[in-house]
Amino acid sequence: MKVILLAFSYGLLGLLSGQDGPSKDDIFDFTNYTVNVKLKQEPHFYNTSIRDYKAAVGQPAYLHCFVKNLGDREVSWIRKRDLHNLAVGVHAYSRDPRFAAIHTEGSDDWVLRVANVQLKDTGAYECQVSTEPKMGITFWLTVEVSKAEITTGTEVLVRAGSDINLTCRVANVAEPPSFIYWYRDTNMINYALRGGVSVETDQHLRTSRLLVARATTKDSGNYTCVPSNSDTASVMVHVVNSERPQAMQSGVSSTPASCVPSILLISAVINKNRNQFLSILIQLMIIVKFIYVTLKINLNSIRHCIRDNSTFINMIM
Protein backbone atom coordinates (compact mmCIF):
# COMPACT_ATOMS: atom_id res chain seq x y z
CA MET A 1 0.00 0.00 0.00
CA LYS A 2 2.86 2.37 0.90
CA VAL A 3 4.54 1.56 -2.42
CA ILE A 4 1.33 2.37 -4.36
CA LEU A 5 0.88 5.66 -2.50
CA LEU A 6 4.52 6.56 -3.05
CA ALA A 7 4.30 5.79 -6.79
CA PHE A 8 1.05 7.76 -7.06
CA SER A 9 2.71 10.67 -5.30
CA TYR A 10 5.70 10.60 -7.61
CA GLY A 11 3.40 10.47 -10.66
CA LEU A 12 1.31 13.31 -9.34
CA LEU A 13 4.46 15.38 -8.84
CA GLY A 14 5.45 14.67 -12.42
CA LEU A 15 2.05 15.70 -13.82
CA LEU A 16 2.09 18.90 -11.78
CA SER A 17 5.55 19.75 -13.06
CA GLY A 18 4.60 18.99 -16.73
CA GLN A 19 7.22 16.26 -16.99
CA ASP A 20 7.07 12.52 -17.55
CA GLY A 21 8.47 11.95 -14.08
CA PRO A 22 9.33 13.91 -10.95
CA SER A 23 12.51 15.98 -10.99
CA LYS A 24 15.36 15.62 -8.50
CA ASP A 25 14.20 18.74 -6.64
CA ASP A 26 10.65 17.36 -6.45
CA ILE A 27 11.94 14.12 -4.92
CA PHE A 28 14.04 15.99 -2.36
CA ASP A 29 11.17 18.28 -1.45
CA PHE A 30 8.81 15.34 -1.10
CA THR A 31 11.32 13.40 1.01
CA ASN A 32 11.91 16.34 3.34
CA TYR A 33 8.17 16.82 3.70
CA THR A 34 7.72 13.13 4.57
CA VAL A 35 10.53 13.26 7.15
CA ASN A 36 9.14 16.43 8.71
CA VAL A 37 5.63 14.95 9.00
CA LYS A 38 7.03 11.82 10.57
CA LEU A 39 9.22 13.88 12.90
CA LYS A 40 6.24 15.88 14.08
CA GLN A 41 4.43 12.66 14.97
CA GLU A 42 7.30 10.86 16.71
CA PRO A 43 9.01 11.87 19.98
CA HIS A 44 11.99 14.12 19.38
CA PHE A 45 14.25 16.50 21.29
CA TYR A 46 14.20 20.22 20.65
CA ASN A 47 15.58 23.42 22.12
CA THR A 48 18.90 21.66 22.55
CA SER A 49 21.21 24.67 22.18
CA ILE A 50 21.98 24.71 25.92
CA ARG A 51 23.59 21.44 26.91
CA ASP A 52 26.54 22.67 28.97
CA TYR A 53 25.63 23.67 32.52
CA LYS A 54 27.74 25.12 35.32
CA ALA A 55 27.10 25.30 39.04
CA ALA A 56 29.08 26.27 42.12
CA VAL A 57 29.79 23.86 44.96
CA GLY A 58 26.89 23.85 47.39
CA GLN A 59 24.43 25.36 44.92
CA PRO A 60 21.65 23.47 43.02
CA ALA A 61 22.03 22.55 39.35
CA TYR A 62 19.11 22.17 36.90
CA LEU A 63 19.45 20.23 33.62
CA HIS A 64 16.58 20.81 31.14
CA CYS A 65 15.53 18.21 28.56
CA PHE A 66 12.78 19.21 26.09
CA VAL A 67 10.86 16.36 24.44
CA LYS A 68 8.08 16.85 21.89
CA ASN A 69 5.31 14.29 21.21
CA LEU A 70 6.30 12.07 24.10
CA GLY A 71 2.99 10.20 24.02
CA ASP A 72 3.03 7.18 26.30
CA ARG A 73 6.82 7.00 26.43
CA GLU A 74 8.85 7.88 29.51
CA VAL A 75 11.83 10.13 30.08
CA SER A 76 14.78 8.85 32.09
CA TRP A 77 17.95 10.48 33.39
CA ILE A 78 21.17 8.41 33.29
CA ARG A 79 24.53 9.31 34.83
CA LYS A 80 26.99 8.33 32.12
CA ARG A 81 30.06 7.56 34.25
CA ASP A 82 28.43 4.56 35.94
CA LEU A 83 25.20 4.22 33.86
CA HIS A 84 23.22 4.75 37.05
CA ASN A 85 19.51 5.39 36.45
CA LEU A 86 18.81 8.54 38.45
CA ALA A 87 15.15 9.09 37.59
CA VAL A 88 12.26 7.82 35.45
CA GLY A 89 9.44 10.24 34.81
CA VAL A 90 9.07 12.20 38.04
CA HIS A 91 10.32 9.38 40.25
CA ALA A 92 13.90 9.38 41.55
CA TYR A 93 15.74 6.05 41.60
CA SER A 94 18.92 7.13 43.33
CA ARG A 95 19.84 6.55 46.94
CA ASP A 96 21.36 10.00 46.88
CA PRO A 97 18.51 12.33 47.91
CA ARG A 98 20.17 15.24 46.12
CA PHE A 99 18.85 13.95 42.78
CA ALA A 100 15.25 14.66 41.83
CA ALA A 101 13.13 14.81 38.65
CA ILE A 102 10.89 17.82 38.07
CA HIS A 103 8.11 18.05 35.48
CA THR A 104 5.05 20.25 35.11
CA GLU A 105 1.96 18.57 33.69
CA GLY A 106 1.50 19.46 30.03
CA SER A 107 5.06 20.77 29.67
CA ASP A 108 7.75 19.41 27.36
CA ASP A 109 10.45 20.27 29.91
CA TRP A 110 11.87 17.38 31.93
CA VAL A 111 14.30 18.61 34.57
CA LEU A 112 16.99 16.83 36.54
CA ARG A 113 17.78 18.72 39.74
CA VAL A 114 21.00 18.11 41.63
CA ALA A 115 20.89 19.82 45.02
CA ASN A 116 24.04 20.88 46.87
CA VAL A 117 26.31 19.93 43.99
CA GLN A 118 29.81 18.65 44.73
CA LEU A 119 32.92 18.44 42.59
CA LYS A 120 32.27 14.72 42.08
CA ASP A 121 29.02 15.57 40.25
CA THR A 122 30.96 16.98 37.31
CA GLY A 123 30.33 14.85 34.21
CA ALA A 124 27.88 13.72 31.54
CA TYR A 125 24.17 13.05 32.09
CA GLU A 126 21.89 11.57 29.44
CA CYS A 127 18.21 12.27 28.93
CA GLN A 128 16.61 9.14 27.41
CA VAL A 129 13.22 8.46 25.83
CA SER A 130 11.82 4.90 25.96
CA THR A 131 11.45 4.45 22.20
CA GLU A 132 12.68 1.37 20.33
CA PRO A 133 15.57 1.78 19.99
CA LYS A 134 16.04 4.25 22.84
CA MET A 135 16.88 7.81 21.90
CA GLY A 136 18.97 10.04 24.10
CA ILE A 137 20.75 13.36 24.35
CA THR A 138 23.76 14.11 26.55
CA PHE A 139 24.26 17.09 28.85
CA TRP A 140 27.44 18.13 30.64
CA LEU A 141 27.57 19.52 34.17
CA THR A 142 30.64 21.38 35.40
CA VAL A 143 30.91 22.02 39.14
CA GLU A 144 33.21 24.86 40.15
CA VAL A 145 34.48 26.09 43.50
CA SER A 146 33.07 29.55 44.08
CA LYS A 147 35.45 31.89 45.82
CA ALA A 148 35.82 35.48 46.86
CA GLU A 149 38.94 37.54 46.29
CA ILE A 150 40.06 40.82 47.86
CA THR A 151 42.03 42.55 45.15
CA THR A 152 44.56 44.25 47.45
CA GLY A 153 46.15 40.95 48.47
CA THR A 154 46.43 39.38 51.91
CA GLU A 155 48.02 42.28 53.83
CA VAL A 156 47.54 46.05 53.64
CA LEU A 157 49.38 48.86 55.44
CA VAL A 158 47.54 52.17 55.84
CA ARG A 159 48.73 55.45 57.36
CA ALA A 160 46.54 56.78 60.16
CA GLY A 161 44.16 59.41 58.84
CA SER A 162 43.99 57.82 55.39
CA ASP A 163 41.11 55.69 54.04
CA ILE A 164 40.88 51.92 54.06
CA ASN A 165 39.62 50.95 50.60
CA LEU A 166 38.94 47.24 49.94
CA THR A 167 37.22 45.58 46.96
CA CYS A 168 35.87 42.01 47.03
CA ARG A 169 35.07 40.06 43.85
CA VAL A 170 33.10 36.81 43.74
CA ALA A 171 34.02 34.29 41.01
CA ASN A 172 32.55 31.03 39.70
CA VAL A 173 28.98 31.51 40.85
CA ALA A 174 25.96 30.75 38.69
CA GLU A 175 23.86 33.44 40.36
CA PRO A 176 24.90 36.78 41.87
CA PRO A 177 25.23 36.72 45.68
CA SER A 178 22.13 37.95 47.46
CA PHE A 179 24.40 39.76 49.93
CA ILE A 180 28.07 40.39 50.68
CA TYR A 181 28.92 41.13 54.31
CA TRP A 182 32.14 42.63 55.65
CA TYR A 183 33.65 41.72 59.02
CA ARG A 184 36.49 43.22 61.03
CA ASP A 185 37.70 40.34 63.16
CA THR A 186 34.36 38.93 64.43
CA ASN A 187 32.26 42.08 64.09
CA MET A 188 30.12 42.78 61.02
CA ILE A 189 30.72 46.36 59.88
CA ASN A 190 28.20 46.80 57.04
CA TYR A 191 25.98 48.64 59.49
CA ALA A 192 28.61 49.76 62.00
CA LEU A 193 27.83 52.70 64.28
CA ARG A 194 31.25 54.16 63.60
CA GLY A 195 30.91 57.03 61.16
CA GLY A 196 32.75 57.01 57.84
CA VAL A 197 32.10 53.33 57.00
CA SER A 198 30.32 52.67 53.70
CA VAL A 199 29.69 49.54 51.62
CA GLU A 200 28.73 49.56 47.94
CA THR A 201 27.66 46.21 46.46
CA ASP A 202 27.06 45.59 42.75
CA GLN A 203 25.27 42.26 42.42
CA HIS A 204 25.49 42.29 38.62
CA LEU A 205 29.29 42.63 38.69
CA ARG A 206 29.47 40.44 41.82
CA THR A 207 31.64 42.98 43.64
CA SER A 208 31.53 44.82 46.95
CA ARG A 209 33.58 47.86 47.97
CA LEU A 210 34.32 48.74 51.59
CA LEU A 211 35.46 52.25 52.53
CA VAL A 212 36.59 53.18 56.04
CA ALA A 213 37.32 56.91 56.08
CA ARG A 214 39.98 58.52 58.28
CA ALA A 215 41.28 55.26 59.67
CA THR A 216 42.83 55.09 63.13
CA THR A 217 44.93 52.38 64.75
CA LYS A 218 41.71 51.00 66.26
CA ASP A 219 40.60 50.11 62.70
CA SER A 220 43.45 47.62 62.36
CA GLY A 221 42.41 43.98 62.14
CA ASN A 222 41.43 41.07 59.94
CA TYR A 223 38.87 42.17 57.33
CA THR A 224 36.76 39.40 55.79
CA CYS A 225 34.45 39.47 52.77
CA VAL A 226 31.53 37.03 53.23
CA PRO A 227 29.30 36.44 50.13
CA SER A 228 26.04 34.53 50.48
CA ASN A 229 27.03 31.83 47.98
CA SER A 230 30.81 31.62 48.02
CA ASP A 231 33.87 30.96 50.11
CA THR A 232 35.17 33.94 52.08
CA ALA A 233 38.30 36.03 51.57
CA SER A 234 40.35 37.88 54.19
CA VAL A 235 43.00 40.57 54.37
CA MET A 236 45.02 41.84 57.33
CA VAL A 237 44.92 45.63 57.63
CA HIS A 238 47.55 47.50 59.68
CA VAL A 239 46.88 51.15 60.46
CA VAL A 240 50.13 52.77 61.63
CA ASN A 241 51.26 56.23 62.65
CA SER A 242 54.41 56.02 60.52
CA GLU A 243 55.00 58.81 58.04
CA ARG A 244 55.79 56.40 55.23
CA PRO A 245 53.81 53.16 55.58
CA GLN A 246 54.03 52.60 51.84
CA ALA A 247 57.77 52.11 52.15
CA MET A 248 57.23 49.52 54.85
CA GLN A 249 54.72 47.68 52.68
CA SER A 250 56.88 47.65 49.56
CA GLY A 251 60.09 46.77 51.34
CA VAL A 252 61.86 50.01 50.36
CA SER A 253 64.87 50.66 52.59
CA SER A 254 64.04 53.33 55.15
CA THR A 255 64.62 54.11 58.81
CA PRO A 256 61.36 54.20 60.83
CA ALA A 257 60.66 57.31 62.84
CA SER A 258 60.65 55.26 66.07
CA CYS A 259 64.32 54.38 65.47
CA VAL A 260 65.50 57.97 65.11
CA PRO A 261 65.39 58.95 68.85
CA SER A 262 67.38 55.84 69.71
CA ILE A 263 70.04 56.70 67.14
CA LEU A 264 70.38 60.25 68.39
CA LEU A 265 70.60 59.12 72.02
CA ILE A 266 73.20 56.49 71.21
CA SER A 267 75.28 58.99 69.26
CA ALA A 268 75.33 61.42 72.14
CA VAL A 269 76.28 58.81 74.73
CA ILE A 270 79.03 57.28 72.61
CA ASN A 271 80.55 60.66 71.91
CA LYS A 272 80.83 61.31 75.66
CA ASN A 273 82.16 57.93 76.68
CA ARG A 274 83.99 55.64 74.28
CA ASN A 275 85.04 52.80 76.55
CA GLN A 276 84.39 49.29 75.24
CA PHE A 277 82.04 48.21 78.03
CA LEU A 278 79.66 51.07 77.38
CA SER A 279 79.70 50.35 73.67
CA ILE A 280 78.66 46.73 74.29
CA LEU A 281 75.92 47.85 76.67
CA ILE A 282 74.60 50.33 74.15
CA GLN A 283 74.47 47.66 71.44
CA LEU A 284 72.44 45.43 73.77
CA MET A 285 70.05 48.32 74.33
CA ILE A 286 69.69 48.67 70.58
CA ILE A 287 68.73 45.01 70.24
CA VAL A 288 66.11 45.27 73.00
CA LYS A 289 64.69 48.41 71.43
CA PHE A 290 64.45 46.76 68.04
CA ILE A 291 62.66 43.71 69.44
CA TYR A 292 60.07 46.01 70.98
CA VAL A 293 59.62 47.92 67.73
CA THR A 294 59.29 44.66 65.81
CA LEU A 295 56.12 43.81 67.71
CA LYS A 296 54.51 47.12 66.78
CA ILE A 297 55.65 47.88 63.26
CA ASN A 298 56.83 45.67 60.43
CA LEU A 299 59.53 43.00 60.36
CA ASN A 300 61.01 44.14 57.06
CA SER A 301 61.21 47.73 58.25
CA ILE A 302 62.97 46.69 61.45
CA ARG A 303 65.57 44.77 59.45
CA HIS A 304 66.44 47.99 57.66
CA CYS A 305 66.53 49.80 61.00
CA ILE A 306 68.97 47.26 62.51
CA ARG A 307 71.18 47.37 59.46
CA ASP A 308 71.29 51.17 59.46
CA ASN A 309 72.01 51.38 63.22
CA SER A 310 74.77 48.75 62.98
CA THR A 311 76.44 50.71 60.19
CA PHE A 312 76.11 53.89 62.22
CA ILE A 313 77.74 52.34 65.33
CA ASN A 314 80.61 50.86 63.34
CA MET A 315 81.32 54.27 61.89
CA ILE A 316 81.51 56.07 65.22
CA MET A 317 83.33 53.39 67.25
Which of 144, 177, 206 lies at the terminal end of a domain, its last residue?
144
The domain that holds 62 is classified in CATH as 2.60.40.10
Q: How confident is the model at residue 282 (pLDDT cuts 50, 70, 90)?
A: low
Residues 290 and 212 in one domain: no
Residues 71 and 160 in one domain: no
Domain count of the fold of the chain = 4
Range of the structural domain that residue 12 is part of = 2-41
pLDDT tens profile 286-310: 676 656 655 554 555 545 445 544 4
Report, as an integer, the average pLDDT of 184-189: 93
Report, as an integer, the average pLDDT of 91-99: 94
Which of 240, 262, 277 lies at the terminal end of a domain, its last residue?
240
pLDDT tens profile 96-130: 999 999 999 999 999 999 999 999 999 999 999 99
Which of 144, 169, 184 lies at the terminal end of a domain, its last residue?
144
SS3 content of the chain, % helix, strand, coil (to 5): 30, 35, 35
Strands 99-103, 109-114: parallel, antiparallel or unpaired by DSSP? antiparallel
pTM to 2 decimals?
0.51
Strands across the sheet containing 135-144: 52-56, 135-144, 123-129, 75-79, 84-88, 91-92
**Which one, of 153, 165, 161, lies nearest residue 210 by Cα?**
165
Residues 107 and 175 in one domain: no
What local confidence, expressed as pLDDT, does residue 171 receive? 86
Residues 254 and 307 in one domain: yes
Greater pLDDT, 17 or 143: 143
Report, as an integer, the average pLDDT of 21-48: 61
Residues 139 and 198 in one domain: no
Residues 260 and 312 in one domain: yes
pLDDT tens profile 192-239: 888 899 999 988 889 999 999 999 999 999 999 999 888 899 999 999
Greater pLDDT, 62 or 255: 62
Q: How confident is the model at residue 56 (pLDDT cuts 50, 70, 90)?
A: confident
What local confidence, expressed as pLDDT, does residue 59 receive? 85
What mean pLDDT is reported for the chain?
77
Strands across the sheet containing 233-240: 155-159, 233-240, 221-227, 180-184, 187-188
| pLDDT of 10 above 90 | no
Residues 190 and 102 in one domain: no
pLDDT tens profile 139-164: 999 998 888 999 888 899 999 999 99
The DSSP element (H or E) to which 25 belongs, if any, is helix 24-41
From CA 174, how far away is CA 54, in angstroms rounded?
Answer: 7
What local confidence, expressed as pLDDT, does residue 124 receive? 97
Residues 153 and 98 in one domain: no
The DSSP element (H or E) to which 260 belongs, if any, is helix 260-272
Residues 173 and 219 in one domain: yes
Residues 277 and 305 in one domain: yes
What local confidence, expressed as pLDDT, does residue 243 receive? 59
